[in-house]
């Protein structure tokens, strides 16, 4: 058996022949997004952007990422149950970051409730890049963990068959046979179904809380349809709908449009602009106070903040959550990149000096999800020069910039000419867990996501229009 290719094919005639087939194959397999021009219309759709060929990923680091995911599920869950840790860790951030402060106020209010829903559902995605050290070794480094609205579990469940067909037409049969099966949509739906079942009412529904602009609706639909297959009813509603028709009964069951809600699945609510009015914040508080299972609940949302990520990387902190599991601690810690505090004080001052001296070695991160928020290069100096003597710098953390090896690939994007690009990839691993009281009743790694972008772009994901969907080709 010959080795998997060192680089993708470059034959111009082959690429010309494949590109129309590739796009049609994506459409045939449902790798779809609505268009920018008609984001809320099912009448006009196109293929979601993707790579012509799968990208080579070392088998050892891929397996490492999958193996550590159930530990990350437990870590997020344990952090969410530690009020003292969340309070201490986020104390400086909530003074200067209004969005995190608003979330934290809801958390405090909910903590005072006498009766909380004992069922907790987490659908996470841990994102990594492959760092190349000066001596040539490749290691897995975590970028972040997404605990709210972790996307592309649906569409990435359909991309393996797209690449299989492209490789078959290109007569790359050995590579075709190496494409992995991958179905995060089914695994995420199993987590949702377990939470629905534990809620204990067959009449109650799963509510996807969604944005008003819904270009990425098909990604949701795959998870939704998996639930319908299990005879679990699903509704889609926006904050405005919950404001208008939502209510709690005397036992704090949540009703929206007269339907009892068993599970609120947040596909919205992770950015300040998602809360368009005070009523949106009121709706979030009402949902959090309710007996519906929240995915994520407010404490799990806060456990996914960048400040918590930075704190967990400090020496000795992981041991707080895994006191008798040194191997688990070692597995998690092995994925951490360097993370540094910008809080006021000596440590924060050292971080500022370090970043100003070598800005190209770091990434400056605010407490935001959704891609496109990070700060790089000379812009780091501009931001920190302004904030270095202000407590506002606590709204950020600093992270080592990961140095992946660029690879060559063709990116297929509606309206763009095709050409060979230098690309960087990011590996995401999906985890799902359900806890009832103190018992973890479901904890699984449920699939992966590979996203690839042109190396000219520093930041941004598929939904932001920068990265494209991909598949790993293990070697």
Determine which one of 306, 307, 388, 401 is catalytic. Answer: 306
- Of residues 164, 194, 365, 388, which has the active-site annotation? 365
**Is 146 a catalytic site residue?**
yes
Active site residue 365: yes
Instruction: Choose, from 46, 139, 146, 297, the residue flagged as catalytic.
Output: 146
Which among 80, 92, 126, 151 is annotated as catalytic? 151
Active site residue 144: yes
Catalytic entry in 176, 388, 451, 453: 451
Q: Is residue 151 annotated as a catalytic residue, yes or no? A: yes
Active-site option among 34, 56, 125, 221: 125
User: Would you call 369 a catalytic residue per the annotation?
Assistant: yes
Per annotation, catalytic residue among 56, 74, 92, 144: 144
Candidate list 338, 370, 371, 460, residue with the active-site label: 370
> For every residue of the chain, which 3-state class applies, written as one string?
CCCCCCCCCCCHHHHHHHHHHHHHHHHHCCCEEECCCCCCCCCCEEECCEECCCEEECHHHHHHHHHHHHHHHHHHHHHHCCHHHHHHHHHHHHHHCHHHHHHHHHHHHHHCCCCCCCEEEEEEEEEEEEEECCCCCEEEEEEEEECCCCCCCCHHHCHHHHHHHHHHHCCCHHHHHHCCCCCHHHHHHHHHHHHHHHHCCCCCEEEEECCCCCCCHHHHHHHHHHHHHCCCCEEEECHHHHHHHCEECCCCCEEECCEEEEEEEECCCCCHHHCCCHHHHHHHHHHHHCCCEEECCHHHHHHCCHHHHHHHCCCCHHHHHCCCCHHHHHHHHCCCCCEEECCCCHHHHHHHHHHHHCHHHEEEEECCCCCCCCEECHHHHHHHHHHCCCHHHHHEEEEECCCCCCEEEEEECCCCCCCEEEEEEEEEEEEEEEEECCEEEEEEEEEEEEEEEECCCCCCCCCCCCCEEECEEEC
Query: Active site residue: 226, 311, 369, 426, which one?
Result: 369
Which residues are the active-site residues?
125, 144, 146, 151, 306, 365, 369-370, 451
């Amino acid at each position: 058996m010959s080795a998997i290719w060192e680089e993708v094919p470059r034959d111009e005639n082959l690429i010309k022949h494949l590109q129309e087939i590739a796009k049609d194959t994506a459409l045939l397999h449902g790798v779809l997004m609505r268009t920018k021009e008609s984001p809320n219309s099912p009448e006009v759709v196109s293929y979601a952007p993707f790579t012509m060929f799968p990208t080579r990923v070392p088998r050892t680091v891929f397996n490492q990422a999958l193996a550590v995911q159930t530990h990350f599920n437990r870590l997020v869950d344990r952090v969410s149950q530690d009020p003292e840790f969340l309070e201490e860790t986020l104390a400086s951030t909530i003074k200067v970051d209004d969005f995190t402060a608003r979330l934290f106020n809801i958390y405090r209010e909910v903590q005072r409730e006498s009766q909380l829903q004992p069922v907790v559902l987490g659908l996470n995605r841990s994102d990594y890049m492959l760092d190349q050290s000066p001596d040539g070794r490749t290691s897995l480094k975590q970028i972040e963990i997404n605990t709210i609205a972790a996307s592309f579990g649906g569409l990435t469940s359909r991309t393996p068959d797209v690449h299989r067909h492209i490789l078959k037409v290109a007569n790359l049969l050995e590579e075709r046979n190496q494409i992995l099966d991958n179905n995060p949509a089914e695994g995420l739906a199993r987590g949702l179904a377990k939470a629905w079942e534990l809620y204990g009412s067959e009449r109650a529904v799963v509510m996807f809380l969604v944005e008003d602009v819904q270009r990425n609706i098909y990604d949701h639909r795959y998870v939704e349809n998996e639930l319908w297959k299990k005879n679990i009813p699903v509704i889609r509603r926006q904050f405005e709908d919950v404001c208008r028709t939502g209510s709690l009964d005397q036992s704090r069951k949540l009703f929206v449009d007269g339907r009892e809600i068993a599970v609120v699945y947040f596909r919205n609510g992770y950015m300040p602009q998602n809360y368009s009015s005070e009523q949106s914040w009121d709706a979030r508080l009402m949902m959090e106070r309710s007996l519906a299972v929240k995915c994520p609940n407010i404490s799990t949302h806060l456990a996914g903040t960048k400040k918590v990520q930075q704190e967990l990387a400090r020496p000795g902190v992981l041991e707080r959550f895994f006191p008798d599991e040194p191997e688990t601690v070692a597995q998690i810690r092995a994925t951490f990149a360097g993370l540094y505090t910008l809080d006021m004080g000596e440590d924060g001052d050292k971080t500022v000096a370090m970043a100003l001296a070598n800005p190209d070695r770091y990434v400056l991160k605010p407490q935001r999800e959704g891609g496109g928020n990070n700060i790089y290069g000379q812009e780091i100096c501009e931001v920190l020069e302004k904030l270095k003597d202000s407590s506002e710098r606590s709204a950020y953390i600093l992270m080592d910039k990961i140095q992946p090896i660029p690879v060559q690939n063709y990116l297929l994007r509606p309206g763009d000419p095709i050409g060979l690009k230098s690309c960087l990839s990011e590996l995401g691993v999906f985890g799902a867990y359900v806890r009832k009281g103190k018992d973890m009743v479901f904890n699984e790694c449920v699939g992966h996501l590979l996203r690839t972008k042109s190396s000219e772009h520093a930041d941004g994901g598929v939904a932001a229009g920068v990265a494209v969907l991909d598949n790993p080709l293990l070697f």
